[in-house]
Structures are given as structure tokens and as C-alpha cells.
């Protein structure tokens, strides 16, 4: 009796070792993504209300870092990813829980004799492989945490890109509005000159055509600004009065030349820091351990042991006989010797090792490409800011002086104003491209493929230990 109680106590202890994390493992995901999102903001607890924190961030013009903080607080896509992580944690606890014993009862009669059978059985193989299955489940949870962290980093990068595009689009719309005003002034002047007979209708038509083109350009710029703003709003999960946030008037200043990253170290940084490379390595190790479990259970896929107690009653003489014993249920590997399961597990392991190599090659290549794009965009943005815009500004100032001295016509002045506005708009586009390239480089060095999630997440093989 003491031995049976000891067994039951051991089973209860095994079943109570695993528990679900109260915060849904959000703190661990935050630790994995630390330094990769550009902000140090903890993830909210499951079901926590973040309206007050979001409202505080929306009181001032929305900065890029504030936009990322809001997305971490209430993005529906991120909340769904974190909920999936909580599901994976529950699956881990379930895998680490010993199988329940099975109670079977039967009642047989023969004449005046009755027989009652009672059997308590449990899966002996399930208990023997419990530590192995627990380890596999823990590694699967590590994969889920890495995937959730990668999703968090991807969301932060998407928010930064959307913020840059939204601010740049509003700058472009403002430039298009100034250009339309300049062309409208030229068209009005042309109309008046035609009316007094100083201009031909051909010259007036050219000014009217310029006005029509600038008006269409202004409409497209305003539509683009609205579209980019709505994209940012969706990523942030804002709606109602929250969507009436204010954006800054212009993009941030370019960083100083001494703050440039070292191009020679980008490959090593990507291999060391990228989450998709770590995800591929973790998946390969998890598949290798699952392959060992599959090999261990290739011939014996189930093994049940049970305690049996049968009682026989004879109503004729009132006698009662009790039988006690045990029974063992073992599948006979007559047809299925486990070759297919083992071959499948081996194939999954080879696939995972190939994915590790592919992830490393892709990380190195994307790091080089992103750094080159970053450097090119930086040089172009500085070229526009330091060369083209100052030259255009100087030409405009000289044209104004010539106009004041009656050495230049009003049409030259209007034409130069349009060219200057176009140069400023081109400089804004160059700065936008730089900040987009900056986000891509940051993601390529720490998170995953820039501009999208890792293909490994979509091509994740199922565990070869499933079904055991």
C-alpha cells in the first residue's frame, strides 16, 4: 500500500511542476526584443487598458518613438501574436503533464454468479518519455517566443516606415500646395496681360496648363498624405478621436557623419543579433531532439500497465472470491516497424539544417545590401541638403535681386520659385528614402528580412514527435 501511495504522490508532483506563465511570457518577449525596436517600453499585461497611456502620448505631435510605443501598447496584430504565444505556453504545460490514469469497470453474470472487474491503468511509455517530451515542448516554446519577438520587431519597423512616409507625404503635400499657389499667380497674371493685349492666348494657355498640372499634382499629394496617415493609424490601432493626432512638420535631421555604422561589421552583427538566425538554430536543435524521441519510440509506440481487481460473487452459497493482479498492453510491431516515422523525422532534421544555412546566407547578404542602400541614401540626402537646395536658394535670391533691379521679368521670378519648390520637394523625398533605409538596416541587423517577416516562420516544419 505504501508503494502505491508513493507512486501516486510522485505522479501528482510531476503534474504540478509545470504551470502557465501569468503574464503570457510577455516579459521574456520584451527581453528578446530589447534594443531591437529603438524604444524601451514594456509590453502591457494581458487585458490591461492602455487608453490613458496612449492619450498621453498623443497630446504632443507624434514622434517616431512615440508611434512605436503606441503600437506596442495597443496594436491588434501584436496582441494577436502575443495571444498565440500564451497558447504555446499552455501547450507546453499540457505536454509536461503526465497522462491521466484510466479506470475501467465491467460487470459479468453467469447464472447465479456475478463478476465485477475493476482496472486502473496508465501509459507507462508516456511516463518514461515525459522528461523527453517536456524538453521538446520547452524548445517549441522557445521557438514561439523567438517568433513573437520577431513579430514585435517587424511591427516596430513597419510603424517607423509608416511614420516616415506619413510625415514626408504631408511635407510633399505642403510643397505641392505652395507650387499650386505660385502657378495660380502666374496664370492670373497671364490672364490680365492677355486682357490688356500684352500677351498672346498661346502664352496664356501654357500658364493655364501649368496651373492644371500643379492642381492635379496637389490633389495626388493630398490623397497620398491621407493614405500614408491611414496606414500609420491602422498599425497603431487608433480609431475615433485618437485618429486625430498631429504629426511633426518635417522629418528629423540627418545624423552626423561620425555616427555612421561600420560597413565591415554589418555581416558579423547580423549573424550574431538577428532573430531569424537564432530562430533557425533553435528549430534545428529542437528537431534534432525530437528525432531522438522518434527513434526511441520507433518500435514501441505505446505501452500501458494497469492494476486489476476482479470480484466474483456466487448467489447460491453467498461465496465471494477476489482476484488481484496486473496487466501489460504492448503493441506488436508486426507491420509497422517505425521506418516511416524515423525517415520523416530524419528528413525534417535535414530540412532544418538547410534552413539554418539559408538563414545565415540571407542574413549576410541582406546586411550588405541594406548597408549599401543606407549609405547611398545618406549621401544622396546630404547632397540634396548641402548642394542642390542651397544652390537653388542662391539662384532664387539672385533672381529676386535682378527682378528688383528690373533686370529679370516676373516670369523668371515665378519660374525660379517653382524650381526652388521642386528642389525642396526632391530633398524631402531623399530624406524620406534615407530614413526608410535606416529602418531597413536596423531590421536587417537585428530582426530579420527588411520589409517583411522571416520566411522561416511560414515554412516551420511540424515536430516529428507529434502523435507520440
pLDDT in tens, 184-204: 888 888 888 888 887 778 877
What is the C-alpha to C-alpha distance for residues 344 and 427, in angstroms, rounded to an integer? Answer: 56
Find the Cα–Cα–Cα–Cα dihedral 34, 38, 40, 44, rounded to 10°. Answer: -90
Contact 156, 71 (CB under 8 A): yes
Grid cell in block for residue 308: 486489476
Residues counted in the chain: 468
Please state the rounded mean pLDDT for residues 216-222: 92
Contact 170, 69 (CB under 8 A): no
Please state the rounded mean pLDDT for residues 91-113: 76
- Which of the residue ranges 219-228, 255-264, 445-454 would you say has the lowest mean pLDDT? 445-454
Other CB atoms closer than 10 Å to residue 322's CB: what's the count?
9
Contact 456, 359 (CB under 8 A): yes
Q: What is the mean pLDDT of the chain?
A: 78
pLDDT score for 312:
65
State whether residue 105 is helix, strand or coil. Answer: strand
What is the C-alpha to C-alpha distance for residues 261 and 370, in angstroms, rounded to an integer? Answer: 12
What is the C-alpha to C-alpha distance for residues 423 and 390, in angstroms, rounded to an integer? Answer: 10
Which residues, 6+ apart, have CB-to-CB distance to 73 below 8 Å? Answer: 41, 44, 50, 53, 54
Give the pLDDT band of residue 213 (cuts 50, 70, 90).
confident
State whether residue 228 is helix, strand or coil. Answer: helix
Give the pLDDT band of residue 290 (cuts 50, 70, 90).
low
What is the C-alpha to C-alpha distance for residues 2 and 147, in angstroms, rounded to an integer? Answer: 47
Grid cell in block for residue 285: 536543435
CATH 3.90.230.10 fits domain 19-97+129-301+336-458:
no
| φ/ψ of residue 131, rounded to 5 | -60, -40
Pairwise pLDDT comparison (343 vs 216), residue with the higher score: 216
How far, in Å, are 64, 81, 245 from residue 155 at the CA level?
13, 11, 20
pLDDT reading at 341 higher than 60: yes
What is the C-alpha to C-alpha distance for residues 38 and 446, in angstroms, rounded to an integer? Answer: 11
Contact 211, 186 (CB under 8 A): yes
* Region label for 62, one of left (φ > 0), alpha (ψ between -120 and 50) or beta (otherwise): beta
Pairwise pLDDT comparison (399 vs 11), residue with the higher score: 399
pLDDT score for 460:
39
Give the pLDDT band of residue 9 (cuts 50, 70, 90).
very low
pLDDT score for 279:
82
Amino acid at each position: 500500500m505504501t508503494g502505491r501511495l508513493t507512486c501516486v504522490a510522485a505522479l501528482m508532483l510531476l503534474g504540478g511542476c509545470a504551470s502557465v506563465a501569468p503574464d503570457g511570457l510577455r516579459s521574456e518577449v520584451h527581453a528578446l526584443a530589447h534594443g531591437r525596436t529603438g524604444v524601451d517600453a514594456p509590453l502591457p499585461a494581458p487585458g490591461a487598458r492602455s487608453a490613458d497611456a496612449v492619450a498621453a502620448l498623443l497630446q504632443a505631435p507624434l514622434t517616431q518613438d512615440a508611434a512605436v510605443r503606441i503600437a506596442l501598447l495597443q496594436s491588434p496584430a501584436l496582441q494577436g501574436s502575443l495571444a498565440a504565444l500564451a497558447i504555446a505556453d499552455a501547450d507546453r504545460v499540457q505536454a509536461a503533464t503526465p497522462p491521466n490514469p484510466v479506470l475501467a469497470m465491467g460487470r459479468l453474470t453467469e447464472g447465479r454468479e456475478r463478476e465485477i472487474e475493476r482496472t486502473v491503468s496508465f501509459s507507462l511509455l508516456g511516463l518514461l518519455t515525459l522528461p523527453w517530451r517536456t524538453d521538446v515542448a520547452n524548445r517549441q516554446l522557445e521557438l514561439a517566443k523567438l517568433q513573437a519577438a520577431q513579430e514585435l520587431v517587424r511591427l516596430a519597423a513597419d510603424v517607423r516606415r509608416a511614420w516616415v512616409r506619413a510625415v514626408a507625404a504631408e511635407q510633399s503635400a505642403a510643397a505641392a500646395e505652395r507650387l499650386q499657389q505660385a502657378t495660380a499667380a502666374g496664370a492670373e497674371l497671364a490672364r490680365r496681360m492677355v486682357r490688356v493685349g500684352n500677351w498672346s492666348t498661346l502664352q496664356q494657355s501654357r500658364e493655364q496648363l501649368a496651373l492644371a498640372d500643379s492642381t492635379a499634382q496637389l490633389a495626388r499629394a493630398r490623397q497620398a498624405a491621407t493614405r500614408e496617415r491611414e496606414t500609420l493609424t491602422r498599425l497603431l490601432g487608433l480609431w475615433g478621436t485618437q485618429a486625430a493626432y498631429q504629426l511633426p512638420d518635417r522629418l528629423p535631421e540627418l545624423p552626423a557623419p561620425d555616427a555612421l555604422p561600420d560597413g565591415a561589421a554589418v555581416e558579423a552583427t547580423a549573424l550574431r543579433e538577428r532573430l531569424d538566425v537564432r530562430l533557425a538554430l533553435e528549430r534545428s536543435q529542437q528537431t534534432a531532439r525530437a528525432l531522438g524521441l522518434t527513434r526511441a519510440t520507433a518500435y514501441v509506440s505505446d505501452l500501458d500497465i494497469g492494476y486489476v481487481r476482479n470480484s466474483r460473487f456466487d448467489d447460491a452459497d453467498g461465496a465471494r472470491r477476489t482476484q488481484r493482479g496486473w496487466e501489460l498492453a504492448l503493441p506488436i510491431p508486426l507491420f509497422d516497424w517505425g521506418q516511416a516515422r524515423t525517415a520523416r523525422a530524419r528528413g525534417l532534421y535535414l530540412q532544418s539544417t538547410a534552413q539554418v544555412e539559408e538563414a545565415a546566407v540571407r542574413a549576410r547578404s541582406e546586411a550588405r545590401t541594406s548597408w549599401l542602400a543606407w549609405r547611398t541614401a545618406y549621401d544622396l540626402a546630404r547632397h540634396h541638403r548641402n548642394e542642390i537646395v542651397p544652390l537653388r536658394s542662391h539662384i532664387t535670391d539672385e533672381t529676386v535681386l535682378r527682378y528688383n533691379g528690373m533686370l529679370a521679368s516676373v516670369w523668371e521670378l515665378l519660374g525660379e520659385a517653382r524650381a526652388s519648390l521642386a528642389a525642396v520637394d526632391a530633398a524631402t523625398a531623399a530624406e524620406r528614402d534615407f530614413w526608410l533605409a535606416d529602418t531597413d538596416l536596423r531590421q536587417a541587423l537585428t530582426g530579420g528580412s527588411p520589409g517583411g517577416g522571416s520566411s522561416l516562420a511560414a515554412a516551420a516544419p511540424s515536430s516529428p514527435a507529434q502523435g507520440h
